[in-house]
Amino acid sequence: MRITSTTFLAGGLAAANLLPRQDTSNIPRPPLGDIPYGTNVASCTLPGKLALTFDDGPDIYTADLLDTLKKNNAKATFFIVGDNGRWQRKNTGDPTGPYPALLKRMHAEGHQIGSHSWSHANFTALSPQGRREELLKLESVFASVLGFIPTYFRPPYTSYDDATNKELKVMGYHNVNFDLDTEDYKGNFEKSRGFVTSSFAAGNSRKKSSFITLLHDIHEKSVSEFVPWVLDEAKKSGYEFVTVGECLGDPSNYWYRDAVTGQAWSGEPLVEPKKQDTTSVGSSGSSSSSSVTVDLQTTTFTSATVTSTTTPKPAQAAATSPASRSGSLVSGMAALLCAAAVVFAFL
């Protein structure tokens, strides 16, 4: 394993305990797989599949939705908005907040994660630079939280034109649409149920049809009432719940790019080990200020980077002085060496 970058988040070295933002603006973006880039993809290529997609989250109902999907053994695709005002949180890079935790849970439970832009802007009303900034800003969060960036994108308002597709192709994104709009965002669920039942009936059987649906995890009744109904109806019709990538026959390592190399994501685990292992550095009997603890649960390893995060206790952070900041830097270097030793021990 090669350590190519290092980040320390300790008292005095990083304000507010923020995650490091990674710049993905200059990474290579070669085509991955056979799914076209810069063109509209609106239907599955494999029969009998139901690709549930959820736009505009995460939100306060997303955790409940994940519970429902897990209970029904259903996989889905989430098109994420970065600056999601519904959270009433401007800092989506706060590692203690719900946003990163939900992204990690989505990924850990086998769901696909896609981009829906940073601010849900209408891409046809933006300049090429504006579209690029919307993509890059959200990429920085994905890279920091998950270690990869998606190759699947859904334009906000499903609004795109030739210029949008050109930019998406350059940035290495598939433009994902849908062929079953439930209109759950309108709140008329009787009408929404009609869209679903008529679509399933028109397909006659799961062997002859498949769908990419449009749903939202930002509406309480969509999550609590409508989605469970859709799952039940789909089961009755024999559909298999899949991600968009699966319904297109796209291998899962092509759904994402490595945030450093731009190549197909390696698929290496990003979830921290459950077992906690600590190693202390320092002479016996030394005070806590001269001892460094490496916790595998707060150490994130990706295919290209090793990042060690040491979070001080509140009292320690408040007492940080210029001298202690220098000590933190030395301790941080020791922490990195310990982390590397732990990694090599497992290889």
- Residues with a known catalytic role: 55, 216
Closest to 317 (Cα-Cα) out of 5, 2, 9: 9
Secondary structure class of 255 (helix, strand, coil): coil
Q: How many residues does the chain have?
A: 347
Residue 332 near residue 310, CB atoms below 8 Å: yes
Closest to 103 (Cα-Cα) out of 120, 80, 119: 80
Q: For tokens 């952070």, what's the residue?
A: 317
Q: Supply the DSSP symbol for 18.
A: P
Helical packing angle, 128-146 and 98-108, nearest 10°: 80
Long-range pairs, 197-201, Cβ under 8 A, ≥24:
197/233, 200/233, 200/234, 200/237, 200/239
**What is the per-residue burial (b if ≥16 Cβ within 10 Å, else e) of 194-227?**
ebbeebbeebeebeebbbbbbbbbbbeebbeebb
- Alpha carbons 165 and 155: distance in angstroms, whole number: 10
Closest to 149 (Cα-Cα) out of 29, 49, 43, 325: 29
All residues at 6 or more sequence positions from 44 whose CB lies less than 8 Å from its CB, including other chains: 51, 210, 211, 212, 247, 248
Distances (CA, A) of 130 to 122, 137, 207, 346: 10, 11, 43, 44
Sign of the Cα torsion 328, 326, 317, 305 reads: negative
Phi-psi region of 215 (alpha: psi -120 to 50; beta: other; left: phi over 0): beta
Residue 109: how many CB atoms within 10 A of its CB? 12
